Structure 1
Amino acid sequence: MRILPNDRGSGRETAGTPLPEGKGEQPPVIRRAELVAFALLALLVISVVAVLYVAKAFFLPVVAAFIVGTMLSPAAGLLERHRIPRAVSAVMIVAAVGAGATFMIGLISSPLMEWSRHLPELGAQLKEKLHVFDRPLALWQELQNMLGVSDTLPAASFQLPKIDWVQPALEFLSPTFTEFLLFIATLILFIASWRDLRRALIMTFGDHDARLRMLRILNAIEGQLGGYLLTVTMINFGVGAATGLVCAIAGMPNPAGLGALAATLNFFPIIGPVAMFVILVAVGVVAYPTISAGLIAPLAFIGITFLEGHFVTPTIIGRRLELNALAVFIALAFWTWLWGPMGGFLSSPLLIVGLILKEYLLPVDDPQLP
């Protein structure tokens, strides 16, 4: 009797029979060790943020001195090559930067003090100019009444905010004397001893490859931050000069102070230009007899910031280091929340340092798409 081989024995699979799933096709399983490691990392990040927030009076001046000192170190090296001792170079550089900052603060504070003395008169003028919005506000109130909304806009006249906000604002914007003294002392000592600190950081590692990697990291941080400060300062001064020129042509009061304010606020990405536009609108509405005339300088400022943000800055800075707009905004919001206005100034340099460390310490290959 002959036995015919069946389908299974012949190696053929019948139609409709499911194939066994391979081991490699199973979905990834989150292991307990990975979950514990993620939880510990999250706790570490929360602890570090909490310490930085609570000890702001110490960490903010020190970190600011390290970042600004790294930016100014190339200038100290240039003076040192001209046979000027590094300690003397550090004092000279800090004094020059302080003089420039004092000059900018003087340009800004002069019109601010003048406007603060005439605050009631400016409030009355602003109240008269805002009468143009009475009709739209009345229509909005009628619409809310038709919809049955109880929280209608109050019919009270425009009231100028009280002066109580000035002192809290100054306390928020200006550091204490102790923080300022700590910043200046740390900055001078950091610039004066940066070369020895570099050598100590490099020689900390015993392996040759580790030393070479640390040297590359320090060179990249110093080069990128130094170039960033020089480039951004030149761009912001250009924005300030253009804004002051536009304000002078448009007949705005104190165009030099407005230009200095525009240059200063432009160091804070995204938020600074928006705040400057609001200030120009407020000054223009008060200074001109009509609202349309007061919007000339703000609209021109929008054109200046558009050209700077879409053509000048990407062309100059984007060639050396690309910064994602979302990453810049998140870093700005986080550091401003953590350390106030100075944290907002340090947000982009700290983001640059983080990207450099990620590039050298966590190199990854480009993923191969299926």
Structure 2
Amino acid sequence: MGARIASCACGRDIVRVLPSERLIPGNSEGEPLPDSHSELPPVIRRTEFVAFALAGLLLIAVVTVLYVGKAFFLPVVMAFVIGTMLSPAASFLERCKVPRALGAVLIVIAGTAVVAFAVALIASPVMEWSTHLPELGAQLKDKLHVFDRPLALWRELQAMVGGSEEFPSFQLPKIEWVQPTLEFLSPTFTEFLLFFVTLILFIASWRDLRRAMIMNFSNHDARLRTLRILNEIEVHLGNYLLTVTVINVGVGVATGLICALTGMPNPAGLGALAATLNFIPIIGPIAMFAVLVMVGLVAFPTISGALMAALAFGGLTFLEGHFITPTIIGRRLALNALAVLLALAFWTWMWGPMGAFLSSPLLIVGLILKEHLLPADSPQLPQA
């Protein structure tokens, strides 16, 4: 074809092949690269997708059952959580030669007495104010006359931009919501009875329940892991209850002193209300701030005087939430603010105010289970 023939000195002919005429050995048609048509594994396999779907359906079913069966699950779960918190006290009484069953009854009676005392402090001013609601409403409406000028300016601005000059007049909220709210907050007698009976039996038999859960596994590693989980839940929930109770009592005492120094009516009742509401994260302090504003508007002739106690309480809760509580509880129980908010919203929607109280303890239990049950050799992301 286009090959060149040359002769060497020895007389032999040498055939030179041009580069364009060289052939690749093997199949003349060429073969694709080994990985050019190879299929990569999917990001999510079909079996994994099915597992995720089943887990999602199971989660939806569990949430539905918990929501529909609130009358049963709420007192039982609350008894389990509070019983786990109080079990160290029962163990202490048992070491002091007090039978565990008797210790459980004594602990429940003591806790009920403390709650009844706080409710009595709160109920006294509430009952007194409820009998004077029309007068208090008229006083509150008179105090809000300072907003007449801003409302007039708003009407003028609406007229200038061509909007409607009508502006809704300020009206106090009606009292029709009181009865549904009380019904929402007040459990039935059956729920109370189920809670107390379950709580006493749980505290009295907690040691046997622990042993049964641990011995239910035949593998030594599984038993050891279960023991560690139960011990950690018991210790951390007990520390959480003790720490939060001490902090909330301190907040209540400080709030009572603030109310007494600023001249607010019934400082003891307001302090007890602050301590009680502070058990509910985020929502409790906000509700207490609103209560102090409303009481101050009724009790004081000026807006500045009415807001003194509320502003001081706001500063107190800021210090407590950002410095005191994280320092005392420590990094081990320092919960992410977003996780606390989402847990609070979910359990409040699920079970109301009692669910809000249980949100942080249940979040702690979930974090402990996550640390022990997820594999420890999970990939670690590089630090940013």
- The normalised TM-score by structure 2 is 0.88
Q: What is the correspondence of 1:30-109 to structure 2 with a 5 Å cutoff?
A: 30-109=44-123
Which is greater in Rg?
Answer: 2
Range that drifts further, 329-338 or 33-42: 33-42
Change over 3 Å in CA distance of 1:116–1:33 after alignment to 2? same
Q: Match of 1:126?
A: 140
Unaligned runs of 5+ in 2: 1-14, 25-32
Q: Match of 1:358?
A: 370
Q: What SS is found at the alignment partner of 2:313? A: helix
Return the alpha-carbon distance in structure 2 between the equivalents of residues 352 and 24 of structure 1.
Answer: 47
Report the alpha carbon displacement of residue 138 of structure 1 after superposing the two structures with TM: 1.9
AA matched with 1:65 = A
Return the alpha-carbon distance in structure 2 between the equivalents of residues 9 and 84 of structure 1.
Answer: 97
CA deviations 1:150-186 (Å, max 9, x no partner) are: 595324xx44333322211110111110000000000
2:355 equivalent among 343, 348, 352? 343
Change over 3 Å in CA distance of 1:46–1:151 after alignment to 2? farther
The answer to whether the Cα contact below 8 Å between 2:156 and 2:165 also exists between their aligned partners in 1 is: no
The answer to whether the Cα contact below 8 Å between 2:159 and 2:165 also exists between their aligned partners in 1 is: no
User: Does 1:223 pair with 2:235?
Assistant: yes
| Identical counterparts, % of pairs | 73
Q: Match of 1:14?
A: none
Return the alpha-carbon distance in structure 1 between the equivalents of residues 228 and 19 of structure 2.
Answer: 70
CA deviations 1:80-120 (Å, max 9, x no partner) are: 00000000000000000000000000000100000111111
Report the alpha carbon displacement of residue 28 of structure 1 after superposing the two structures with TM: 4.5
User: Does 1:280 pair with 2:292?
Assistant: yes
AA matched with 1:130 = L
Q: What SS is found at the alignment partner of 1:193? A: helix
User: Does 1:112 pair with 2:126?
Assistant: yes
2:380 equivalent among 353, 367, 370? 367
User: Does 1:211 pair with 2:211?
Assistant: no
Q: What SS is found at the alignment partner of 2:279? A: coil
Q: Match of 2:304?
A: 292
Change over 3 Å in CA distance of 1:22–1:71 after alignment to 2? farther
1:202 equivalent among 205, 209, 214? 214
CA deviations 1:296-340 (Å, max 9, x no partner) are: 101110111011011111111133322100000000000000000
Change over 3 Å in CA distance of 1:366–1:147 after alignment to 2? farther
AA matched with 2:357 = F
State the Cα RMSD in Å: 2.3
User: Does 1:29 pair with 2:43?
Assistant: yes
AA matched with 2:113 = A
Return the alpha-carbon distance in structure 2 between the equivalents of residues 260 and 9 of structure 1.
Answer: 95
Report the alpha carbon displacement of residue 43 of structure 1 after superposing the two structures with TM: 0.9
Q: What SS is found at the alignment partner of 2:311? A: helix
Q: Match of 2:8?
A: none
AA matched with 1:70 = T
User: Does 1:236 pair with 2:251?
Assistant: no
Q: What SS is found at the alignment partner of 1:160? A: coil
Q: Match of 1:15?
A: none
Report the alpha carbon displacement of residue 146 of structure 1 after superposing the two structures with TM: 3.5
Change over 3 Å in CA distance of 1:132–1:359 after alignment to 2? same
Return the alpha-carbon distance in structure 1 between the equivalents of residues 341 and 165 of structure 2.
Answer: 34
AA matched with 2:214 = I
Change over 3 Å in CA distance of 1:5–1:165 after alignment to 2? same
Report the alpha carbon displacement of residue 292 of structure 1 after superposing the two structures with TM: 0.5
Counting matched residue pairs gives 359
1:303 equivalent among 311, 315, 319? 315
Return the alpha-carbon distance in structure 1 between the equivalents of residues 180 and 108 of structure 2.
Answer: 29
- The normalised TM-score by structure 1 is 0.92
Q: What is the correspondence of 1:155-194 to structure 2 with a 5 Å cutoff?
A: 155=169, 158-194=170-206
Change over 3 Å in CA distance of 1:226–1:120 after alignment to 2? same
Return the alpha-carbon distance in structure 1 between the equivalents of residues 74 and 273 of structure 2.
Answer: 23
AA matched with 2:370 = K
Change over 3 Å in CA distance of 1:358–1:151 after alignment to 2? farther
Return the alpha-carbon distance in structure 2 between the equivalents of residues 325 and 194 of structure 1.
Answer: 32
Return the alpha-carbon distance in structure 2 between the equivalents of residues 22 and 266 of structure 1.
Answer: 64
CA deviations 1:108-150 (Å, max 9, x no partner) are: 0100000111111111111111100011112223333434445
Unaligned runs of 5+ in 1: 11-18
AA matched with 1:369 = P
